[in-house]
A and B are shown apart, each in its own frame.
Chain A
Amino acid sequence: MLKPTLKALLLIGTVLLTSLSSPLVSAKGVYQSGPDFIAEAFNQPPNKATLWLTNDIREQAAEILGHPLAGLRVRYHQLDNKTAWILEEIGKEMPITIGVVVAEGKIEQVKILAYRESRGGEVRYPAYTRQYLGASLTHNNNLDQSIDGITGATLSVWAVNKVAALALYYHGQVINSRDPS
């Protein structure tokens, strides 16, 4: 008769092998590529553009994120009054890659493109990201909608909240710079 230890190891091994041989095999962590996200967000090819991080923008962005900003610029895509941003923010230890589409100052889509943290992957569920739809910025650069969190993934939830607010802020900078009125 097999020892319980061996039985459990066999069980884990079986589950592992079954999963490995399933057609779902792909690199977990990266759920969608940036180009695919952009293509999906626009119904025709958008313009590529760059937002240079001036001191004012850098200050506001740092306030939203709660830490200084890396980089000198942010690349984005735009078509008319709609912009798409692919940004990264660390949850607990690893960067989460988040795609955000903003139209007319409101969030049209939030999608987790890559998640690398050990816990908290639930932030990628559509049921979670749907909460951001229609959110805009308050005058304090906070989201104007309440987002229900995920137990055990507080830091990942905060990261997505911050990125959503940052994308809205960047969108405002881009649209305002184009329309002096």
Chain B
Amino acid sequence: MNKKLLALVVGMTLSTAATAAETPNLEQLWNMVQQQQAEIAALKDQLGESNARLQETEIVAEATVTAIEQFALAPMASKKTTFGGYGELHYNNLETDDASGTKDAIDFHRFVMFTGHQFTDSIRFFSELELEHSLSGNGHPGEMELEQAYIEWDATENLTAKAGLFLMPIGIINETHEPNTFYGTERNNVEKNIIPATWWEAGAAIKGEITQGLSYDLAAHSGLYIAEGDHKPRDGRQKVAKAKADDMAFTGRIKYTAIPGLELAASFQHQADVRQGEGVAIDGTLFETHIAWQRDSFQLRALYAQWDFDDAINTTKMGADEQTGMYIEPSFKLNDKLGLFARYSSWDNTAGSSTDSEITQIDLGVNYWLHPNVVFKFDYQNQDAPGESGYDGINMGVGYSF
């Protein structure tokens, strides 16, 4: 019995001891909690440090990407100064109706560079420098021309003013004439010989909107100088090169563009004396109107222009007091790359006379846009002029703009 009791006591003691070894006492528990708290605090510190590093990394990454975009890749918005240009190479193979004259020539007709600078969102500068016919200088066929150089200021939401040397707001191609924007290797003869495009003068101008889609242009600027012996407006372009400024000219235009694809416009210009104070004063007034309408793949352009000069100009050339021209040009784009056009033009720089001096021309051709900004052109022209002097033949060209 005693042995049994002893065994039981020993057993219980051992059991209690074993239990005591597995269950920590209060002090041990306290120590454990303290240790765990320390570990949690350390982990929290590490996590906080990681988060801080992550945030720092994100900030560094953001700053790096921003810096790369701003300074290395230079997004467009930060480009205050812009550069562009266009050019066109022409080949003409033409012969007069009476075979007395030919024009068989290849010519890099225009090489143009644009430079612009934006001073602020509302003040900017535009310029266009052109090398015509590839080689300029004494005895060479070409010339270097400053076609645009002006400061433009958006005075209000509906009014923009500009000063400097700018293109006349007249006609369809005078202001927009990149080769990929029009049909035909050569620019049309009506705008060239009557308006006369490309035409620029120096002065000041404003343009604004009367209502959405109805805009106006008003300009006071240097004028033509049609010297004694000349009678065509094209002869009178001074190109703002030490130009005579005895008499200025004034131009106005009203333009309707409220319907997408449609432009209706009329321009008016008056100059009190195109002789610029030399001899008898001859005043000149130009009226031009046009429609340009594009609907899906179809486009129609038609223009009429007329100069009225004082009768005194008839002493130089009979009938030069009235000079008129018109053209109509339907075109159709077969797809994004290929377009066909036809144009009928007529113009007369001595329309005031009773003699038949009108020149007419039919053009048929194709534009192939290798890229929206790169175009190849081919066209056939048939020109009828007094004395069988009209040129017939083909024109080819390649042009680009960027």
Closest to B373 in A: A66
Known: A8-B250, A88-B76. A150 touches B156 (CB 8 A): no
User: B258–A70 contact, CB under 8 A?
Assistant: no
Report the minimum CB–CB distance from A8 to chain B (whole Å): 5
Beta-carbon contact of A93 and B159 below 8 Å: no
| Cβ proximity bits B57-99 to A, threshold 8 Å, 1 near / 0 not | 0000000010011000111110100101000000000000000
Contact A66 B176 (CB under 8 A): no
CA distance A82 to B172 in the complex (A): 41
B113-121, B193-201, B357-365 - interface stretch: B113-121
8 Å CB contacts to A: which residues of B139-194?
152, 154-162, 172, 175-176, 178, 180-181
A146 contacts the other chain (CB 8 A): yes
Return chain B residues, CB-CB under 8 Å to A5.
220, 248
In the complex, B279 has a CB within 8 A of chain A: no
Contact of B118 among A70, A116, A119, A152 (CB under 8 A): A116
Contact of A149 among B65, B161, B261, B401 (CB under 8 A): B261
User: What sequence of 0s and 1s flags, for each residue 320-343 of chain B, a beta carbon within 8 Å of any chain A beta carbon?
Assistant: 000000000000000010000000
CB-nearest residue of chain B to A29: B121
A125/B258 in contact, CB under 8 A = yes
Checking B161, B208, B220 against A9 with a beta-carbon cut-off of 8 angstroms, the contacting residue is B220
Residue of B nearest to A68 (CB): B73
A92 contacts B by Cβ under 8 Å: yes
Q: How many Å lie between the Cα of A38 and that of B121 in the bound state?
A: 21
Residue in contact with A25 in the complex, picked from B152, B157, B297, CB distance below 8 Å: B157
Q: Are B181 and A154 in contact (CB under 8 A)?
A: yes
Chain B residues with CB under 8 A of A97: 77
Residue of B nearest to A131 (CB): B260
- Picked from A19, A26, A92, A158, the residue with its CB within 8 Å of the CB of B84 is A92
Contact between B175 and A152, CB atoms less than 8 A apart: yes
Q: Which residues of B contact A1 (CB under 8 A)?
A: none
Partner of A28, one of B116, B154, B250, B270: B154
Say yes or no for A151: interface residue by CB 8 A criterion.
yes
Q: Say yes or no: is A80 at the interface (Cβ < 8 Å to chain B).
A: no
Q: Is the CB of A4 within 8 A of B272?
A: yes
Contact among A72, A89, A114 with B65 in the assembled complex (CB-CB below 8 Å):
A72
Contact of A19 among B73, B156, B272, B301 (CB under 8 A): B156
Question: Is the C-beta of A42 less than 8 angstroms from some C-beta in chain B?
Answer: no
B296 touches A (CB below 8 Å): yes
- Residues of chain A in range 82-104 having any CB-CB distance to chain B below 8 Å: 88-90, 92-95, 97
Contact A150 B75 (CB under 8 A): no
- Cα A154 to Cα B261 in complex, Å, equals 11
B152 partner, pick from A12, A118, A146, A155, beta carbons under 8 A: A118
Residues 189-240 of B at the A interface (beta carbon under 8 Å): 204-206, 208, 212-213, 218, 220
Partner of B82, one of A25, A94, A119: A94
Q: Is B79 within 8 A of A158, CB to CB?
A: no
Interface size on B, residues (CB 8 A): 63
Docked complex: B248-272 residues within 8 A CB-CB of A: 248, 250, 257-261, 263, 270, 272
Picked from B73, B152, B175, B218, the residue with its CB within 8 Å of the CB of A72 is B73
Smallest distance from the beta carbon of B125 to chain A beta carbons, Å? 10
Interface size on A, residues (CB 8 A): 52
**Cβ A24 vs Cβ B294 within 8 A:** no
B176-A158 in contact (CB<8A): no
Which among A25, A97, A122 has the highest number of chain B CB atoms within 10 Å? A122
A16 to B156, CA, bound (A): 9
Instruction: Let me know if A66 and B75 touch, CB within 8 A.
Output: no
B373: chain A residues at CB < 8 Å are 66
Asked if A93 contacts B126 (CB within 8 A), the reply is: yes
Cβ of B131: which chain A residues have Cβ within 8 Å of it?
A: none
Residues of chain A contacted by B204 (CB below 8 angstroms)? 9, 12
B371 in the interface, Cβ–Cβ < 8 Å? yes
Among B122, B161, B178, B263, contact of A27 (Cβ-Cβ < 8 Å): B122
CA distance A94 to B296 in the complex (A): 27
- Cα distance A165–B118 when bound, in Å? 27
Q: Find chain A residues with CB under 8 A from B124 CB.
A: 94, 116, 118
The answer to whether B76 and A95 have CB atoms under 8 Å apart is: yes
A93 and B65 CA atoms in complex are apart in Å by 26
**B residues in contact with A73, CB < 8 Å:** 65, 69
Known interface pairs A4-B250, A118-B152. Does A88 touch B77 (Cβ–Cβ under 8 Å)? yes
Chain B interfacial positions (CB closer than 8 Å to A):
65, 68-69, 73-77, 79, 82, 84, 114, 116, 118, 121-122, 124, 126, 152, 154-162, 172, 175-176, 178, 180-181, 204-206, 208, 212-213, 218, 220, 248, 250, 257-261, 263, 270, 272, 292, 294-297, 301, 336, 371-373, 401
Supply 14 A–B pairs (Cβ within 8 Å), ascending by A.
A4-B248, A12-B220, A20-B159, A28-B154, A73-B65, A73-B69, A88-B75, A89-B76, A94-B116, A95-B77, A116-B121, A148-B260, A148-B261, A151-B172
Interface residues of A (CB under 8 A from B): 4-5, 8-9, 11-12, 15-16, 19-20, 22, 24-30, 66, 70-73, 88-90, 92-95, 97, 114, 116, 118-119, 122, 125, 127-128, 131, 142, 146-155, 158
The 10 closest A-B pairs by CB, nearest first: A148-B261, A28-B154, A151-B292, A19-B159, A151-B263, A93-B116, A152-B176, A95-B76, A148-B260, A29-B121
With A28-B154, A149-B294 given, name 6 new contacts (CB 8 A). A4-B250, A25-B157, A29-B121, A71-B69, A97-B77, A150-B260
